[in-house]
A and B are shown apart, each in its own frame.
Chain A
Amino acid sequence: MNTAAPSKSRDDYDVIVVGSGAAGGMTAFVLAVHGVKVLMLEAGRDYDPVTETPMFQLPSEAPLRGVSTPDKPFGFFDATVDGGWTVPGEPYASADGVDFMWWRSRMLGGRTNHWGRISLRMGPYDYKPYSRDGLGFDWPMTYEDMAPWYDRTEALIGVFGSNEGLENTPNSSPGVLQPPPAPRVHELLTQKACHKQLDIPVIPSHLAILTERQDHERLPQQLFPGNALAQRVLRDSMRERAACFWATPCGRGCSIKANFQSTTVLLPPALATGNLDIRTDAMAREVTLDAKGHANGVHYVDKRTGQDEHVSAKLVVLAASACETARIMLNSKSTLFPEGVGNSSGLVGKYLMDTVGASVGGRIPALENMPPHNQDGASGMHLYMPWWGYQQQVKGELDFARGYHIEFGGGRGMPGAWTFAGLGGRTNGAYGQRFKEEARKDYGTGMYFAGRGEMIPNEDCYCEIDPSGAVDEWGIPTLKFHWKWSEHELNQCRHMQHTFRDIITAMGGEVTSEIHDDGAKAIAAPGEIIHEVGGAIMGADPGKSVVDQYCRSHEVPNLFVTDGACFVSNADKNPTLSIMAIAWRAAEHMVEEMNKGAFS
């Protein structure tokens, strides 16, 4: 994108933001529209979805029909470049018996370029989980504190969905959500089975995709009353965004800016203020402190030269993704903070969480020979199942404490490389004309159901600077991960497996993957769901947390952590929307404090 090349001499930034994804993009955007001079450091390269997104390309136009490879782990056309479970030159380690998977996206906009756009609010229970069941920790703020920031975030980025008034599944304020698209046939069939036979709610999903153009006159005024600069850049930026044209996979990114990416929605208006400079290929190494113990800048490696550089500012925001932020803090050692900046509590890197994931596949004969019609839709799911078992848990009827929602898919979307991979076996060896006929009948009958559940933080899940002394290509000490699931997560996975089997059976279908009664066999690897949060958790007590509810370090008053590292719990609701709401609230707080002269 058209990032401004910062002038070499300029070193009078108010704020350095490390990271350009959901948290970094939102923090920088909010600060910049309030007139704050921001320098953003991004470890990856510059990236422009408008010119680089392969929109209508068929899998046959990609190497290997676009299948996943170690170089492009979500497939060739996935938006992620220079990213994945392994990044060349940037190793990490896991403790014995642990297989932590750490996804990085070294590119402007980070993981927002390819994410699933699933945008679910955390609810009242999710902010006070300890109070409800005695496990984990409460957040320092309540859902009611956060509700206005969810409204703002949803209105800014554009989220479709509906208000159903279900337990711990909050409504948005009137006029905030965009209308949800009509469900597809297989989604309606699933809904019917779940409602009639299983009493599982199936409701419109909430995805950060525009189903209609944003009201570029009303929204900027509502979001930034009295702020002419913010209104101007937002009006222009919203005008640039088209509504979804119901084609092409969101995971590739979106050149018409219909879905949310930091690079299409947050960074363009932030740059348009003239208050944001972005340095890409800038790999942050550590936060530097002055004699008073206040942050005064960031050391980073310019990947193009291999040189160590330093930039200074009045305030530093870490938004590099949960584990990378913890890594930077742990690597920022000083006399004052020998265990890493802001880490006198010893909690930096601790209480890492991911989402609990398990899935089941099936085939639904009722969908065979479906009359052809376009089922592409909004790329992702139009319906989903929010967690429905809160009252069962209150009554002690379930052997796990927290819930999960169900994401599901199927239907006659664009065939991919694996669509008919198992057809030969399923048809007892069809080939020739019979194979073609079987493929016609079979197309669109496959479905999957994936659980996305809440993990309870525990002391065995953390990252530390690798005691072996390992460093990455840039000489920066690397992370080592430790992990242990509790019975809550494993039992939840068993429940997922049985529920998905029941749904497929209720639809008259056949389960095509193994159903595990042992949750440990069904659960996705830690990190695999790419919802890692925690590592610099927030709280009111400086002895038990790293930052306060405004993401501000308890110990270094001008150091903030606005990404998922500050998460205290990891509700089943996918974290990106909450990351942005929390980051926006924190950024407004920074501005208020600045206006009071706090960091001058």
Chain B
Amino acid sequence: MSHADNPAGGAPRLARRQVIQLIAAAAAAPVFWSSARAQGSSVKGPKGTPTDPDLINPAQAWELKLTEAEREQLKVLCDLIIPADERSPAASAIGAQDFIDEWVSAPYPAMAGDLEKVRKGLAWLETEAGSRFGAAFGSLEEGQQHAICDDICHPPAAKPEHVETAWFFDRVRMLTAMAFYTTREGMADIQYVGNVPLPKWDPPPDAALRHVGLI
């Protein structure tokens, strides 16, 4: 799912959903099936349509809409939300900005409005950085970046003029966490130790039982 190989800017990036729709249209055309029908055989495996995607080799299925500049800005913000420490890397290292691009560009109702929200929020950050510190947000000192983020990190506590941007920050924080903790690196950070086959299933260790007062 990494978009690391995508060309930087320039030509529109892959619109695989459209490609899939073309394949589906071809599949519906009689000529496509004539040979299979002649042999009287069933078609095996996924059709590669949105409702029957290849689950083993998932494909990115829609055009990504953020600009390269917006993705660079997002990277800075994602790393402010989840920075590197001794236990795990920063959010950008696992491609949080790519995930957010995928999310805001998705064709589903649940994501509707997020593209505009992210665009407006990123633009606000630039304006705010410029007016407060006279530089682009990404080139500010970390303390300056924190000074701005502290104003918008909690919508219920934000000043009226910051509320809208606070919801933008909250959404980016949620998406960054979604991106990060669903990767091997993020799972290691919170010490998820499953998803490995075990020869047998054991009761919880004593340390865990003791932790909750069960022994």
Contact = CB atoms under 8 A, between A and B. Distances in A.
Contact of B182 (A248, A417, A432): A417
Nearest to A86: B51
Contacts of B187: 58, 414-415
Q: How large is the interface on B (under 10, 10 to 19, 20 to 34, 35 or more residues)?
A: 35 or more
Q: How large is the interface on A (under 10, 10 to 19, 20 to 34, 35 or more residues)?
A: 35 or more
B194 A45 contact: no
Interface stretch (B5-13, B36-44, B117-125): B36-44
B205 interface: yes
Interface string B180-215: 011110110111111111111111110111011110
A70 B111 CA distance: 12
Nearest to A42: B42
Nearest to A419: B181
A304 B88 CA distance: 50
Contacts of B44: 46, 48
Given A5-B41, A58-B187, A188-B204, A435 B193 contact: no
Q: Is the interface of B mostly helix, strand, loop or mixed?
A: loop
Contacts, number: 241
B41 to A, nearest CB: 5
Nearest to B106: A64
A377 B200 CA distance: 10
A65 B201 contact: no
Q: Is the interface of A mostly helix, strand, loop or mixed?
A: loop
Given A419-B181, A420-B177, A246 B189 contact: no
Contacts of A247: 194-198
B40 A5 contact: yes
A232 B151 CA distance: 71
Contacts of A60: 1, 94, 179, 182-184
A497 interface: no
Contacts of A168: none
B189 A436 contact: yes
Given A371-B207, A374-B198, A436-B85, A54 B183 contact: no
Interface string A172-189: 000000000111110011
A201 to B, nearest CB: 18
Interface stretch (B52-60, B68-76, B126-134): B52-60
A373 interface: yes
A432 B203 contact: no
Interface string B17-42: 00000000000001001001101111
Given A60-B182, A414-B194, A418-B178, A8 B40 contact: yes
A353 interface: no
A599 interface: no
A466 interface: no
Contact of B157 (A48, A371, A429): A429
A245 B198 contact: yes
B190 A415 contact: yes
Interface string A351-370: 00000000000000011011
7 contacts: A5-B40, A60-B184, A67-B110, A71-B53, A279-B42, A374-B193, A415-B190
Interface of A: 3, 5-8, 45-46, 48, 51-54, 56-67, 69-72, 76-77, 81-84, 87-88, 181-185, 188-189, 192, 211, 244-248, 252, 279-281, 304-305, 366-367, 369-378, 412-425, 428-433, 435-436, 439-440, 443
Interface of B: 1, 30, 33, 36-37, 39-47, 49-53, 55-56, 58-61, 80-83, 85, 87-88, 94, 99, 102-103, 106, 108-110, 146, 149, 153-157, 169-170, 173-174, 177-179, 181-184, 186-187, 189-205, 207-209, 211-214
